[in-house]
Amino acid sequence: AQSVTQLGSHVSVSEGALVLLRCNYSSSVPPYLFWYVQYPNQGLQLLLKYTTGATLVKGINGFEAEFKKSETSFHLTKPSAHMSDAAEYFCAVSNDYKLSFGAGTTVTVRA
Amino acid sequence: GAVVSQHPSRVICKSGTSVKIECRSLDFQATTMFWYRQFPKQSLMLMATSNEGSKATYEQGVEKDKFLINHASLTLSTLTVTSAHPEDSSFYICSARDWRTASTDTQYFGPGTRLTVL
């Protein structure tokens, strides 16, 4: 079965610094991979997804992620953090049309 | 596009009562909807998958008689927590799969419902 592992439950960055959130997946078939963001007491918002084609995927709010099959990774990055990026981020892999989520990474942004 | 709403956003009820939560896809048809439960500081746990016009498929360990799911139309699914108890207090989130992107398994999430059982 497919699964994802998010490395680091909490990431703290300075405003303007690089944001890097790590996600590794396990899949026996070519995966569909997703990053979602959750703000407090809200549902999840899709940031970006990888299905097929270009391995560098650009999403909303300046985020992007690169699918690396050789490393089984799908890390999320943003060149310059903004205070509004403070939230919980979830990596997910589709598993027979269902989504399996990682444990989540909390991002805090320091002024 | 791909907006999902939930109602209510917050509900407080007494132990032993039943609570119904609605999930609607506002601008697309959702052949499949999902219900999740999320405890504080934790990830989402899939409870069940519902397909329009058929019975829901529950994940292992989820009581189908306690969490009744109905998917009566392509835009509406409901979750009823029957005879709620304090341990049912949680954040319930629904999602819907847009038939136009169904092949990529993309799910769009509602804003969630905070249930507190006293």
Taking an 8 Å cut-off on Cβ atoms, the answer to whether B109 and A90 are in contact is no
3-state secondary structure A13-43: EECCCCEEEEEEEECCCCCCEEEEEECCCCC
Most confident range (mean pLDDT) of A46-60, A83-97, B9-23 is: B9-23
A53 falls in which pLDDT band (50, 70, 90)? confident
Whether B106 has its CB under 8 Å from any CB of chain A: the answer is yes
When CB atoms are compared, the residue of A32, A44, A104 closest to B105 is A32
Q: What pLDDT digit, counting tens, does each position of A8-51 carry?
A: 999 999 999 999 999 999 987 888 999 999 998 888 999 999 98
Please give the Cα distance from A4 to A31 (Å, whole number). Answer: 11
> Where would I find the H helices in B33-112?
none
Whether B42 has its CB under 8 Å from any CB of chain A: the answer is yes
If one counts every other C-beta atom within 10 angstroms of the C-beta of residue A103, the result is 15
Do residues B109 and B4 make contact, with C-beta atoms less than 8 angstroms apart? yes
Give how far A59 is from chain B: nearest CA, Å. 14
Whether A14 has its CB under 8 Å from any CB of chain B: the answer is no
Do residues B43 and A90 make contact, with C-beta atoms less than 8 angstroms apart? yes
Q: What are the contacts of A57-61 at 24+ separation with CB within 8 A?
A: A59/A35, A61/A37, A61/A85
Q: Which of B81, B64, B71 is closest to B23 using CA atoms?
A: B71
Examine the pLDDT at B31 and tell me if it is beyond 90.
no
A106 falls in which pLDDT band (50, 70, 90)? very high
Say which range, A67-71, B28-32, B74-78, has the weakest mean pLDDT.
B28-32
pLDDT value of position B54: 85
Give how far B51 is from chain A: nearest CA, Å. 12
When CB atoms are compared, the residue of B43, B93, B102 closest to A103 is B43
When CB atoms are compared, the residue of B6, B32, B108 closest to A46 is B108
Please give the Cα distance from A55 to A40 (Å, whole number). Answer: 30
pLDDT value of position A31: 86
Examine the pLDDT at B99 and tell me if it is beyond 80.
no
**Residue where the block lists tokens 């009562």:** B17
